């Protein structure tokens, strides 16, 4: 039976699934390294602005779309106007691009979890990450040597993702009842440990004390906006698909607010965990916390394990941390897989859901092999950069324009208010029509300007083409689909 006709057993099950998708590696790994890179609290202000300005209105939009049309994102946009189906397709393509590398990061977490009981990285954290786990060939941008332990870890992850969703909504509800609360409980345990460490509070101050010195740095705003889109799983169609299984009487606004705020609360707690522990490490090593925090994507896999190794019981703390990362990531990964599978079920009704699920799992698993090679980290880095800064931001921009200018937004607002306790005012319409598009256009222009003036991370153009090519291809395919593909009606 297709997932489509099922209904969530309760509001709790729906919120858990939405949160399961939203709360993921983005909240711990991505959020903390971006916050560190952009000066801790200096990042927090743009992040909160992005949350209110963009995340809240767009989440309401996506939930409403799914709830009203009871279908996946392509068909939902197509119901507004046939030409808009490409906007929905962009979301599906983003899932298809992100899932393979997301699965590989889950694979890293699994390997770290496996090693955490004897923490072999102590004293050589950086080497352990780059050589033992990644088998990275430094400076070799097209080295396709295989890394068998990582491939095995990633293969296990794919099997788990497949099993999680192969049983439909009932299975998903069961899995998320563990994978949503467990990491949050672990984060609280780590938080208590962090803030009770000597100088742990210095890290907390670094993270929370208001600082506006970077307010004119556009890079901070760009990172904050693309982070909000990534972390709340906006633009992918996942939230639309999940909301399509809601019962008729569902409070869209309340559900959106709960999802958005809990998701960001988890990011902020994770930030507090990371920075309090770094505060202790800075004190122990006699270095400024800034230098530790600015370590980039290696923060969760190099600097943080190193910090944990300075605390009593490092094995237990490392085990808890990587278990937290793993459980956070699993439900996000299978939500991505489910989004893809649901789109295929819609598009190819002749085939059974189970065969389409196997097909999408296998195709994505094969693609993920690229990210396990000797140059895997470079590919991952460029694809993540271009996809989150252009494809995701571009998709959400198009969604806002489609919804704000082509759909009858005021009529949608009445629809949402008719089923929600909390009523939304005309500010919602105004945001979708003006504020969000304007903010996103400025961001996109700035991203283009800065990527043209300095190549990302000074990578060679041949490597940058991988990320640019993938994004460009997604936009071209969607454009073609919107304007040149024949009209199809599955409803
Ligand atoms: N939000 C997830 C995270 O923070 C990642 C993600 C982005 C995602 N888009 C998604 C997960 C779509 C599920 C579905 O890690």
pLDDT tens, position by position, 126-158: 999 999 999 998 888 888 899 999 999 999 999
21 C-alpha to ligand 1 centroid (Å): 6
Q: How far apart are CA 427 and CA 53, in angstroms?
A: 10
Distance CA 271, CA 146 (A): 34
Q: How far is the CA of 311 from the centre of ligand 1 (A)?
A: 31
Question: 25 CB under 6 A from ligand 1?
Answer: yes
Q: Is the dihedral of CA 5, 340, 112, 34 positive or negative?
A: negative
Separation of 238 CA from ligand 1 center, angstroms? 9
Site to probe by mutation for ligand 1, drawn from 16, 17, 26 as the one with most ligand atoms within 8 Å of Cβ, is 26
Pocket flag, ligand 1, residue 238 (CB < 6 Å): yes
Q: Return the residue whose CA atom lies nearest to atom 9 of ligand 1.
A: 233
> What pLDDT, on a 0 to 100 scale, did the predictor assign at position 102?
96
From CA 470, how far away is CA 295, in angstroms rounded?
A: 27
> Are 433 and 410 contacting, i.e. CB atoms less than 8 angstroms apart?
no
pLDDT in tens, 225-284: 999 999 999 999 999 999 999 998 899 999 999 999 999 999 999 999 999 999 999 999
pLDDT in tens, 383-407: 999 998 999 999 999 999 999 999 9
CA 288, CA 44: separation in Å to the nearest integer? Answer: 20
How far, in Å, is the centroid of ligand 1 from the Cα of 136? Answer: 25
Return the best residue to mutate from 27, 102, 108 for the ligand 1 pocket (most ligand atoms within 8 A of CB): 102
Q: Given ligand 1 and candidates 23, 92, 100, 230, which is best to mutate, with the most ligand atoms within 8 Å of its CB?
A: 230
Q: What is the pTM of this model?
A: 0.93
pLDDT of residue 2: 45
Residue identifier of the C-alpha nearest atom 12 of ligand 1: 233
In ligand 1, the atom with minimum distance to the C-alpha of 339 is: 14
Ligand 1 center–CA 231 separation, angstroms? 6
Q: Relative to the CA of 230, which ligand 1 atom is closest?
A: 7
Determine which residue's CA is closest to atom 6 belonging to ligand 1.
233
159-187 burial by CB neighbour count: b if 16+ within 10 A, else e? Answer: ebbbebbbeebeebbebbeebbeebbebb
> What's the pLDDT score for residue 1?
37
Query: Residue whose CA is closest, atom 14 of ligand 1?
Result: 336
* CA–CA separation, 322 and 317 (whole Å): 9
Longest Cα separation, the chain: 65
Task: Write out residues in the chain with pLDDT < 50, as ranges.
Answer: 1-4, 489-491
Atom 8 in ligand 1: which residue has the minimum CA distance? 233
What integer pLDDT is reported at residue 297 of this predicted model? 80
* Per-residue pLDDT, 6: 74
pLDDT value of residue 5: 55
């Amino acid at each position: 039976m297709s997932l489509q006709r099922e209904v969530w057993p309760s509001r709790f099950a729906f919120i858990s699934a939405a949160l399961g998708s939203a709360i993921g590696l983005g909240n711990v790994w991505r959020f903390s390294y971006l916050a560190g890179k952009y000066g801790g609290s200096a990042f927090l202000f743009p992040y909160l602005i992005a949350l209110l300005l963009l995340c809240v209105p767009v989440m309401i939009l996506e939930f409403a779309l799914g709830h009203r049309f009871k279908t996946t994102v392509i068909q939902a946009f197509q119901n507004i106007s046939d030409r808009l189906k490409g906007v929905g397709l962009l979301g599906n393509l983003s899932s298809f691009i992100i899932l393979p590398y997301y699965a590989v990061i889950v694979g890293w977490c699994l390997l770290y979890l496996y090693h955490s009981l004897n923490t072999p990285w102590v004293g050589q954290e950086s080497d352990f990450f780059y050589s033992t786990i990644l088998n990275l060939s430094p400076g070799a941008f097209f080295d396709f040597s295989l890394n068998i332990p990582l491939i095995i870890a990633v293969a296990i992850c794919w099997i788990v993702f497949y099993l999680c969703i192969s049983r439909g909504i009932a299975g998903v509800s069961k899995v998320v009842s563990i994978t949503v609360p467990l990491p949050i409980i672990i984060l609280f345990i780590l938080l208590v440990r962090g803030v009770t460490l000597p100088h742990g509070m210095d890290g907390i101050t670094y993270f929370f004390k208001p600082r506006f010195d970077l307010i004119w740095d556009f890079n901070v705003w760009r990172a904050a906006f693309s982070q909000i889109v990534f972390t709340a799983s906006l633009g992918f169609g996942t939230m639309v698909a999940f909301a399509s299984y809601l019962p008729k009487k569902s409070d869209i606004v309340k559900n959106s607010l709960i999802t958005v705020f809990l998701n960001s609360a988890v990011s902020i707690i994770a930030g507090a965990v990371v920075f309090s522990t770094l505060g202790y490490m800075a004190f122990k090593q006699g270095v400024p916390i800034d230098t530790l925090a600015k370590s980039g994507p290696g923060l969760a896999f190099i600097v943080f394990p190193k910090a944990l190794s300075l605390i009593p019981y490092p094995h237990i703390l490392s085990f808890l941390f990587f278990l937290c990362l793993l459980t956070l990531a699993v439900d996000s990964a299978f939500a991505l897989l489910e989004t893809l599978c649901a789109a295929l079920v819609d598009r190819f009704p002749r085939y059974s859901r189970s065969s389409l699920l196997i097909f999408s799992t296998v195709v994505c698993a094969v693609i993920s092999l690229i990210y396990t090679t000797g140059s895997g980290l470079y590919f991952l880095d460029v694809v993540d950069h271009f996809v989150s800064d252009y494809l995701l931001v571009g998709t959400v921009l198009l969604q806002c324009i489609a919804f704000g200018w082509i759909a009858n937004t005021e009529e949608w607002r009445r629809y949402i208010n008719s089923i929600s306790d909390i009523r939304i005012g005309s500010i919602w319409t105004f945001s979708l029509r003006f504020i969000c598009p304007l903010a996103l256009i400025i961001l996109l222009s700035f991203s283009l300007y800065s990527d043209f003036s300095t190549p990302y991370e000074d990578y060679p153009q041949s490597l940058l083409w991988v990320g640019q090519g993938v994004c460009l291809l997604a936009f071209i395919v969607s454009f073609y689909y919107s304007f040149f593909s024949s009209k199809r009606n599955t409803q």
